[in-house]
Amino acid sequence: MFLDPEFLPVYESLPEMDVFADVRGARVALAAASGDGKSDGEVNVEDREIRVDGHALSLRLYTPVTPVSRSVAPLPVAVWIHGGGFVLGGPNAEDATCRRLTAELGIAVVAPDYRLAPENRYPAAFDDCYAALRWVADEADALGVDAARVALGGHSAGAALAAAVALAARDRQGPGIRYLYLGYPVLDDRLETESARAITDPKLFNRQGAAAGWELYLQGSDPEAGYAVPGRAKDLRDLPPTYILVDGADPVRDEALEFAARLSAAGNSVELHLVPGVPHMFDVLAPDIRASRRAVAAWTTAFAHGVGASGDQARGDAR
């Protein structure tokens, strides 16, 4: 397995781990390493709560303190779905990403605190994320956001949920989605690709981890039914312009590449960025290496264009 030379010191320092073996402990550790979700000088942060099918769904709303362009209102908005293998995380887990997009692009970001597995199997997380999209569209005027400039995004399992929501919005004639960002997406429970078979290193997200996440999320649900597994979707026509970030040393690499090819063959606009020699979540594990800086700068710029952010405000050191 080829690894980027700049990533090797990080790789050597990583312990062997299996977050799915101790979900409770992994949640505690992730919470300690996450953002605080508080307002600062650049970003206002507000927690909201809505009712979804009889239960409460918390949403975190990020808005810029000073809009990038006062002449452009209302703001573009991104519904940002956190990762965590369907079992970990909450809005704080990707607080830094949501805060950065808000500050750099001058957009609003809404992050749903969707129900996690194994306590809640499919379709709980999907239903919550779709409800968050509907809420943004329904409350656009009150939120000061533009219902015609709504993007969906997420990493890993968050990207799987974003893809599922995009499919449902198309089928249900739901809210329009202007742009879709899928960061190293977990898309297919079958794990039949070459990369799924090859990436088994216990220091990295591997085949075992991918399989465990799907098992805890589905818990016997029919993977062919509804929007459980985006990679199994038969019809990929009429989806939003999509950017897919893929890691070279990732068990889900090949399923993401296949999904991108299928999206393109179905007539969609697809931009694909394959980063060689880096594993799942490389930008989190090694944010300062050149591969991470270049990849984050590239997808952020594409996201700014895709959501219609004013002035192409994406910044980043891609050197």
Q: What is the pLDDT of residue 68?
A: 52
195 part of the active site: no
Give CA separation, 217 vs 115, 131, 211, in Å: 11, 18, 10
Catalytic-labelled residue, pool 127, 128, 146, 250: 250
Catalytic-labelled residue, pool 4, 82, 280, 292: 280
128 part of the active site: no
Catalytic-labelled residue, pool 128, 146, 156, 310: 156
250 part of the active site: yes
Q: What is the pLDDT of residue 67?
A: 59
What span, in angstroms and rounded, lies between the C-alpha atoms of 44 and 57?
A: 20
Output the tens digit of pLDDT for each of the chain's 319 residues.
Answer: 899 999 999 999 999 988 899 999 989 888 877 778 888 989 999 999 999 989 999 999 999 997 554 445 799 999 999 999 999 998 888 999 999 999 999 999 999 999 999 999 999 999 999 999 999 999 999 999 999 999 999 999 999 999 999 999 999 999 999 999 999 999 999 999 999 999 999 999 999 999 999 999 999 999 999 999 999 999 999 999 999 999 999 999 999 999 999 999 999 999 999 999 999 999 999 999 999 999 999 999 999 999 999 644 444 444 4
Q: What is the pLDDT of residue 123?
A: 97
With 0.85 as the threshold, say if the pTM is over it: yes
Q: What is the pLDDT of residue 121?
A: 97
Architecture of the domain delimited by 8-307: 3-Layer(aba) Sandwich (3.40)
Q: Strand pairing of 108-112 and 75-81?
A: parallel
